[in-house]
Structure 1
C-alpha cells in the first residue's frame, strides 16, 4: 500500500517566548487534526536561546523539527536598543541565514506553505524567491489585526497624532478605540518605530491568508469585517482570515516552583486566590511594585504573585532572560516585612510560575494580568475573571476589549502620574474575589469559556477554519 503523502510547512516566529509558544502550539494543533503534515520551526536569535526556549524546543513531537538561525549582532547599537526594534531588526538581519535554510529544505522536499508573523513580513521576499506560498500567523486579537490592516489608510486620512483625536477611532467591525489606547508604536507618528510598523502593515495584504489566534464568538465583529467581500460596506481589505484559536500552551512543568505552587493552592479554599502575573516580559517600577504589594496585603485576600525585579521600562524583561527567568530573592524588591506579614495570606515566587497549572486549579478565583494575548486566552480557557493591568504592546487595546466589550475584567484607575495606588488595588481585588461584580464577571467569563470550547470542538468554528486551511495547503501543493 502506498504511503500517504506528507505535506511540509515551515514556520518562523519572531523572537520572544510569547511569539514562539503560539507558533509551536499552532503546529501541534495542526498535526493533531491532520497527521499528514510535517513542520519545521525556524527560530531567529539575537543571542544564546533562553532556558525556556530550549525547554519548549526539546519537548517538541517528532513531526516538528527545529532549526536555530545564527544569532544576529547589534554591535552597531552600542547604547542598547528597545525590545520592539530588536525584534524587527532580528528578523530582517536573519534574511541571509533564512535563505540558506529554505534552500536546504526545498532541496529535500516541497514546502506547501511558509508562515511568519507581523514582524517577519520582510521574510516574505525570501519565500517568494523559492515560490513557497506565504501566510501570516497573527498570535494577537483580530481587533488588533484589523487596526494593522487599516493602518495605511488611517495614516493618510488622520491629520493629527492618533492620541489627539477628539473621539474614538472607528475601525470596521471592531470596538471604537481611543487614540491613547492604540499600541505604543502608534503613539508617535514621527518615530522610526511607527514608520517600521506602517511598512510591516502595508505588506499584510501580500500573503495568501492570515491565521488569527482568536475565535468567532469572542471577536465576531472584527472577524466578520475582515471576511467581508471587497466593496461591501464595513469591510476591511484583507487576504482570507482564519480564526483558529484559542491556541494556548499545552504540557506542564515539573519545575520546583510548580510543585510549590500546587501544594500551596491545594491548601486554599475554592476560588479564594488571586493569581498575579505580568507575563514573560512585563516589569513594574520600584514605586509601583511597592504599591501593588501593599494593596494586596491590605485587601486581606489570598494571592499567588510572580514577582520580578523592578525596572522603569515596562517591557524590560521581554527579551532579557536574566530578568524574565533569573532566580533572585523577592525580599530584595518588596517592602520591609511584607513576606513575613503575608505568610499565611499569600505565596510569592521569583520570576516564573507554572501559569497553566495555577489557572486550572480550583482554588484560583481570579487573575491580575498585563493583558498579553497568551495570558488573556489562558484566563478565558480556564474561566477566570480578570483584573486588567496593561503594560505595553497591544495590551491597552486588549484591556479595553476585556473591560468595556466582553465585560470579563475590572480595571484599576491610575493617578495622573500613571501610578496605581494601594487603595485602588484593594478596591479591585476585593471586588473581583468577593464582590457581586466579581461574581457577574465570573459568570460572563464562564460563558466565554464555553464558547471557546465549542469553537475547538469537532465541528466548531475554529476546527473548521483549520481544516479549510490544511485543505488549501494540500491543494496548493497538488497544483504545483
Structure 2
C-alpha cells in the first residue's frame, strides 16, 4: 500500500482490461509518479501480475497496483481477465464482469479520498461515483486525437439515433472540416459496425464512450500539438471542454541496452542482429491484441521472402499453434509440425536472412539496435511512438480497432506507407507487402520518408523536453485544482 504524506497528491487510475489500454494507463502512472504523485492503479489480480514487472524499482513505492477479482459471469472463461484472453465475441462478457467493479471503486474512493480520478471509456460509471465524493475526474483516451474525435462523433450520433450506422455510411464520411486522409475503409467499417449496439453487458460501446466524454471535467489524450494540433482542436470543439494532450510518453531506454536481455531467445535475437549491417533489417511485430489468421501470416511471410530484405519477425503464437512450437528462432526447421502457421519450407529458405521468434523479446531494445532500418507493424499507437522515437520509417498493416485510422494519419504525415488491401474484404497479398517494404527500404520515395521521420524524431518523438512539458502541465493541474477541490470538500465537511 502506498503511504502518503499530508501534502502529497493522489490519483486513482481506472483502465479498461485490455493491454492496449492498461499499458498506456501504466505509462501515464509512471510519468506522474516520477513527479511525486501517488497512484492507485485499479485493476484485477492476473493483469497486475503481468504489469508489475513493468514498474521501475524507484517508482514502486508510489504506484499501488490494486487487484479486485472479477465475479464469475456466464460466457466468460475462468481466469479470463483481459481481452487478450478471449475471442472477440466473448469480450462483451468481460465488460459485464468489469461493470461489477463499481462497488470496490466506490469503497476505494471513500476510504482514500484521492485528489483525482483518471478513467477509461469502458468505466462509464466512474464519473457518477466521483461526483458523489466531489472528486474531479478526467477521461483518458488511449486513442490518438483524430480517432477519439471519430469515436466520439460516432457514439453521439448512434446514441441519438438509437441505432448504429451502416458500414457503407461509415466509410463514406468526411469526418473533419479540414483536408484529412483519416477515415475508415469499407472492410474496417464493416468490422466496426458488427461490434456496435447492445451486448451482454447491457451497455453498448457507443453509450460508454458518450458517457465517458460527458462525465469528465477534462479529456486527456496521448498525443501532442506538434503532431496532431488540428485534430486536438477538432476534438475540443466536439467535447466543449478542455482537451489536455499528455505528450507521447516515449519509452525510457536504459543505458545498458542488454541489461535485461536474459532469456535464451532474446540472447539469440541480439546475437543475430549484431551480425547484420546498419539499418538493413525490417522489424516485424503485430502487438498483443491483433490475432492474425494463418492466411494473413502466410501472406506476410511471402512478402518478406519476395522483398529480399533481412527481417526480424516476432510472431505472436496464433491460437491454433501448439506451445511446443512457440519458440523457433533463426532457421530452426519446424515445418514438419502441422501446427506451424508459416509456409512450407519458409524457415529453411529464410535461415540466413531472417530471425523468427514466437517468444517474448524486449521490443524497445530491438528497435534501438543499429541494424534495424524500418518497422512493419499494425499501426498501434504505442508501437508507432516507439518506432518513430528511434527514427524508423513505418510499413503499416492495420488489423483491428483504430489502427486503420492511425495508419492513414501516419501516411498523411509522410512517416510511413500503408500496405494495399482489398477495400471490401481487407485481404492483402504477399506482393503488396513486398512492394511497401522495398519502397521504404530501397527506393527513392523511401529516402523522403526517412528524412521526414528523422525530422519528427528530433522535434517530437524523441524530444524529451517537449514531452516532459506536457506531463508537467498535467501535474500542475492535478496539484492545484485537486488541492482546491480537497479544500472545498473539507470545508463542506466542517460546515456539516
The 5-angstrom pairing of residues 92-241 of structure 1 reads 92-104=99-111, 106=112, 110-155=113-158, 156=160, 161-164=166-169, 167-172=172-177, 175=180, 177-180=182-185, 186-188=192-194, 191-192=197-198, 196-203=204-211, 204-227=213-236, 235-241=237-243
User: What is the rounded CA distance, in whole Å, between the counterparts of 1:88 and 1:393 in structure 2?
Assistant: 16
User: What is the rounded CA distance, in whole Å, between the counterparts of 1:402 and 1:300 in structure 2?
Assistant: 25
User: What is the rounded CA distance, in whole Å, between the counterparts of 2:164 and 2:26 in structure 1?
Assistant: 41
Q: 1:327 to 1:477 in 2, by over 3 A?
A: farther
- In structure 2, the partner of 1:350 is 358
- In structure 2, the partner of 1:231 is none
User: What is the rounded CA distance, in whole Å, between the counterparts of 1:469 and 1:24 in structure 2?
Assistant: 19
The 5-angstrom pairing of residues 284-433 of structure 1 reads 284-310=292-318, 327-329=326-328, 331=334, 332-403=340-411, 405-415=412-422, 417-433=425-441
User: What is the rounded CA distance, in whole Å, between the counterparts of 1:265 and 1:285 in structure 2?
Assistant: 27
User: What is the rounded CA distance, in whole Å, between the counterparts of 2:203 and 2:414 in structure 1?
Assistant: 34
Q: 1:73 to 1:163 in 2, by over 3 A?
A: farther
Query: Could you tell me how far 1:350 is from its partner in structure 2?
Result: 0.8
SS at 1:140 equivalent: coil
User: What is the rounded CA distance, in whole Å, between the counterparts of 2:360 and 2:270 in structure 1?
Assistant: 14
Alignment equivalent of 1:275, drawn from 283, 307, 311? 283
SS at 1:371 equivalent: coil
Question: Contact 2:74–2:93 at 8 Å: present in 1 too?
Answer: no
Question: Contact 2:317–2:326 at 8 Å: present in 1 too?
Answer: no
Query: Could you tell me how far 1:337 is from its partner in structure 2?
Result: 2.3
Q: In the alignment, is residue 437 of structure 1 matched against residue 453 of structure 2?
A: no
| TM-score, normalising length: structure 1 | 0.84
User: What is the rounded CA distance, in whole Å, between the counterparts of 1:343 and 1:289 in structure 2?
Assistant: 17
| TM-score, normalising length: structure 2 | 0.81
Once superposed, what is the RMSD of the aligned Cα atoms? 3.2
Question: Deviation string for 1:312-364 (max 9, x for gaps)?
Answer: 9xxxx9xxxx99x9945583222222222212111111143211011111211
Query: Could you tell me how far 1:299 is from its partner in structure 2?
Result: 1.4
Question: Contact 2:196–2:204 at 8 Å: present in 1 too?
Answer: no
- In structure 2, the partner of 1:475 is 484
Q: 1:64 to 1:166 in 2, by over 3 A?
A: closer
Question: Contact 2:76–2:94 at 8 Å: present in 1 too?
Answer: no
User: What is the rounded CA distance, in whole Å, between the counterparts of 2:138 and 2:203 in structure 1?
Assistant: 22
SS at 1:75 equivalent: coil
Question: Deviation string for 1:127-184 (max 9, x for gaps)?
Answer: 2333322211112101112123323443358995253368432235683544536667
Q: 1:150 to 1:250 in 2, by over 3 A?
A: same
Unaligned runs of at least 5 residues, structure 2:
78-85, 255-259, 335-339, 490-496
User: What is the rounded CA distance, in whole Å, between the counterparts of 1:358 and 1:77 in structure 2?
Assistant: 36
- In structure 2, the partner of 1:230 is none
